[in-house]
Chain A
């Protein structure tokens, strides 16, 4: 295992002086004798100078190879220069360079226990130098690494120039990081801007389309009502005044027409109701939940009695601060749904529960009806979305959509939990703090 003690960048002459100084310091901290320190520092000096002179700079890493016994103090000098073409000649000392490279590399090899050079023309050079720890040195551990690092940090710089060099080293490293970060930031920022512009455009067109749709829904439902009233009126007239003259088949057709007209009328009413909700602004008052629930149940006492529905009311909240009409409508629709879908249960059971949370009031309406598959959870709150056939259960499919809209208008949320055949529970949460209109 290799421990990295220090990494230096060599770009200027002063940097490589720093490199050999650090080599000496580290050697000293690691327990090498004065003579060994000089050897190691000299070897590093030779190699680091080459990196500077031939490759315009490089990196010097100081490591400890702990796998060796005794551990090896390793110095790795790498550059991205032109590489060395006639490596073997240089190492055998036959090469004589003008700047003294011949003696340098060959001599360096003699100074160290371990010497390895990797170089390919055009792909840079990496020289590894190693010196075995003095005999008797303990195996290298993390603890030892901590000691070396601390010791190195504690050493005061020998002169102001060295201090400046050290800071320069930090600066170079920080600068490289910074540049990379900045580039990344610029890229992300550009992306963000593009996305924001796209989003704004989408939002605008969505708003426009939404307004259009609302107006459309309102107009259509409104305009549909007039001809429908005509059809219903004539059908009624036929029924009341001319029934005697009609054949059996004609009476049947007339009944079908009147049923369809009624259904269509409900549908249009719901649609109108739904689209009108947008325009309505909630007015806030104290809403006594008990009274609201009681009124709704009283209006339905007939059907409740007829179907023998068991009703359980447990309100732990007396009153909430909210929009009375909205809350009443929400509860009405939820209770109507519960009554409707628990029709075939033996006996039907509906529980209405209210409780206070730290930030909100929660109202739940639970039934033991047919329930639904949770994978359709989001669909049931969509306008005119129905999971059941109209022959099974009457209705337009607008009820829950209206409920959802009303709840959201009050800043609340609604969701349901259910399983097919095991009833459904609808949760409504209304915030105590109304959002700004």
Chain B
């Protein structure tokens, strides 16, 4: 069975989508991510879609679902590397990536995640150490 690789980078999980995904592959990714977040205690998920030519309403909605699910598991999700054409098409199509943060590239996405996690810890009262 095909599978999208999930890499652990520091406290975050990095998913790089390199091939055009069919629906079940996206659903599988959602399940796999939930398991990996729980297993690693990751605080953030970075999904790099710079390799994706097409994001249609189903895949767009799945990103929303993944983000919602990650939030319940105490992790932030950032989608990075969206091509301009894909972004324009998504808007025209009427898909709103509600609850999904986006960044231009992996680096900026990392920054965003770091900041988000740090901000949250500040609000809670800093690290125990």
Contact = CB atoms under 8 A, between A and B. Distances in A.
Given A13-B23, A103-B94, A45 B56 contact: yes
A79 interface: no
Nearest to B55: A42
A111 interface: yes
Interface string A8-38: 0000011011001100100000000011011
A45 B92 contact: no
A103 B53 CA distance: 20
Interface in A23-63: 24, 34-35, 37-39, 41-42, 45-46, 49
Interface in A88-129: 93, 99-100, 103-104, 106-108, 110-111
B71 interface: no
Contacts of A204: none
A139 B49 CA distance: 36
B54 A108 contact: no
A37 B85 contact: yes
B54 A38 contact: yes
Contacts of A42: 54-56, 89, 93
A107 B94 CA distance: 6
A356 to B, nearest CB: 77
A159 interface: yes
A100 B58 contact: yes
B101 interface: no
A17 B24 CA distance: 11
Q: Which bucket holds chain A's interface residue count? A: 20 to 34
A158 to B, nearest CB: 8
Contact of B53 (A38, A100, A107): A38
B22 A39 contact: no
Contact of A106 (B22, B55, B86, B94): B94
B57 interface: yes
B92 A24 contact: no
A324 to B, nearest CB: 87
Contacts of B83: 34, 38
B19 to A, nearest CB: 6
Contacts of A20: 20, 54, 56
A62 to B, nearest CB: 16
A45 B61 CA distance: 14
Interface string B61-102: 100000000000000000000011110110011110000000
Contacts of B21: 17
13 contacts: A14-B22, A16-B22, A20-B20, A34-B83, A35-B88, A37-B85, A45-B56, A45-B58, A49-B23, A103-B61, A107-B57, A111-B93, A161-B2
Q: Which 4 A-B pairs have the closest CB atoms?
A: A107-B93, A38-B85, A13-B22, A35-B85
